[in-house]
Amino acid sequence: MFPLHRGRRLRVNESIRSLVRETTLSPSDFMFPMFVAEGENVKVEIPSMPGIFRRSIDLTVEEVKEIYALGIRAVNIYVKVSENLKDNTGKEAWNKDGLMQQAIRAIKAACPEMIVMPDVALDPYSVYGHDGIIANGDVENDSTVAALVKMAVSHAQAGADFVAPSDMMDGRVLRLREGLDAAGFHNVGIMSYSAKYASAFYGPFRDALDSAPVDTTDIPKDKKTYQMDYANRIEAIKEALSDVKEGADMVMVKPGIAYLDIVREVKNAVHVPVTVYHVSGEYAMIKAAAERGWLDNDKIMMEQLMCIKRAGASLISTYFAKEAAILLNK
């Protein structure tokens, strides 16, 4: 009780504050999402995500080596698929010589210790921009899962350390685990997007991959039949527990800063690492405000990352990974 106890004694200066700090950040807390494009020596900035680029494989490899030197130990890979390779089956997703498979092989050859977690979903390969196969006017669950298994096995064959299903189909974690094990990839892990909400924060990401759902009258115009309703909390816990039971080695909550209550709830419920995706819209808002002088980019960036870690994240997938690692290394 005051005056015997004064909380401010532990806040007098930075040395004392650092001694009693409950949460810390390091570059190894981050995973860097990377966008891969066809070609050579290609580096195209994404207009809605200043400082983030689509890179060809050669430049992706150089960036991977650079961020590894900063202490970042994981990358999440997405590919920009040519329009002529898109269809409703997603078959390009398991092409052993596809862009994703080439990228995985190149990264692992150049930087073997970097943990590579390729995205597993059909939306970059779909003419409809959906995460699965369209049948009878909706995304068909079980045929999509069968396609995702072939996709994940092809990633493992290319050298992926984890596969990262972001599709939100029912039962896909179990089928992926069975498929990977049957193919001999017992040590390839699964980082499941367990609580992925149908969020408006994904807009810049869809610009990066040209993967937004096609607006037609005969198929869903959005992803709300499989991604979660952002009004729901208990459902997120149920999904995470189900994925762990099916064999997920890590679970993810997405988006990040707007869903920290869910992060804490999931962290309390499961006994596997929890990854949080600090998504493109959250990144873009900070960048836009900082460009106008309304916010301090570095201070807001570090505050948000610290808050995500404090909420329970074991790993943060963030477009700020490189910037934050540079600051932390100083």
Catalytic site includes residue 65: no
The CA distance from 243 to 81, in Å, is 28
Name the architecture of domain 30-329: Alpha-Beta Barrel (3.20)
Which residue do the tokens 């419920």 mark?
A: 269
What is the mean pLDDT of the segment spanning 319-323? Answer: 98
Which pLDDT value is given to residue 295? 97
Please report which helix (H) or strand (E) contains residue 307, including its range.
Answer: helix 297-311
Say which range, 219-223, 281-285, 324-328, has the weakest mean pLDDT: 219-223
Distance (Å, whole) CA 59 – CA 106:
11
Parse the chain into domains and list their residue ranges: 30-329
pLDDT digits (tens, 9 = 90+) for 235-289: 999 999 999 999 999 999 999 999 999 999 999 999 999 999 999 999 999 999 9
Residue 189 in 3-state DSSP?
strand
The Cβ of residue 268 has, within 10 Å, a number of other Cβ atoms equal to 10
Q: Tell me: the pLDDT tens digits for 19-42?
A: 999 999 999 999 999 999 999 999
Residue 213 has pLDDT above 80, yes or no: no
The predicted-structure confidence for 55-68, as pLDDT tens digits, reads as follows 999 999 999 999 99
Split at pLDDT 50, 70, 90, the class of 85 is very high
Q: Kindly report the CA angle at 300 between 237 and 195, in degrees rounded to 5?
A: 15
Tell me: is residue 239 an annotated ligand-binding position.
yes
CA distances from 104 to 39, 75, 107, 231 (A): 15, 10, 5, 36
Residue 208 scores a pLDDT above 80:
no
How far, in Å, CA of 180 to CA of 191, rounded?
13
Would you state the pLDDT for residue 198? 96
* pLDDT for the residue numbered 217: 62
Residue 65 one-letter amino acid: K
Per-residue pLDDT of 92-150, as tens digits, reads 999 999 999 999 999 999 999 999 999 999 999 999 999 999 999 899 999 999 999 99
Report the C-alpha gap between 88 and 216 in whole angstroms: 15
- Integer-rounded Cα radius of gyration of the chain: 20
Cα separations in angstroms, 283 against 70, 205, 320, 323: 20, 10, 7, 12
pLDDT for 21 equals 96
User: Given 80, 86, 108, 196, which residue is catalytic?
Assistant: 196
Counting beta carbons within 10 angstroms of the beta carbon of residue 316, is it exposed (0 to 12), middle (13 to 18) or buried (19 or more)?
A: buried
Q: Please state, in angstroms and rounded to a whole number, the distance separating the CA atoms of residues 282 and 304.
A: 10
| Among 170, 179, 78, CA closest to 125 | 78
Label residue 209 by pLDDT band (50, 70, 90).
confident
Residues 108, 254, 287, 322: which is the catalytic one? 254
Q: Which residues pair with 277 in a beta bridge?
A: 317
Beta bridge partners of 318: 278
Largest CA distance in the chain: 73
What is the rounded CA–CA span in Å between residue 127 and residue 184?
32
Helix (H, G, I), strand (E, B) or coil at 119: strand
Q: What is the pLDDT of residue 20?
A: 96
Whole-number pLDDT of residue 219: 86
What CA–CA distances, in Å, run from 241 to 54, 145, 195, 252, 270?
35, 19, 10, 11, 6
For 148-189, what is each residue's pLDDT tens digit? 999 999 999 999 999 999 999 999 999 999 999 999 999 999
Query: According to the model, what pLDDT value does residue 106 have?
Result: 98
Beta bridge partners of 53: 45
What's the confidence (pLDDT) of residue 203? 87
Q: What is the mean pLDDT of residues 46-63?
A: 96
Helix (H, G, I), strand (E, B) or coil at 315: strand
Residue 196 a catalytic site member: yes
pLDDT at 212: 73
Q: What is the mean pLDDT of the chain?
A: 96
Lowest mean pLDDT, pick from 44-53, 202-211, 287-296? 202-211
What is the residue type of 203? G
Tokens of 63: 């960036």
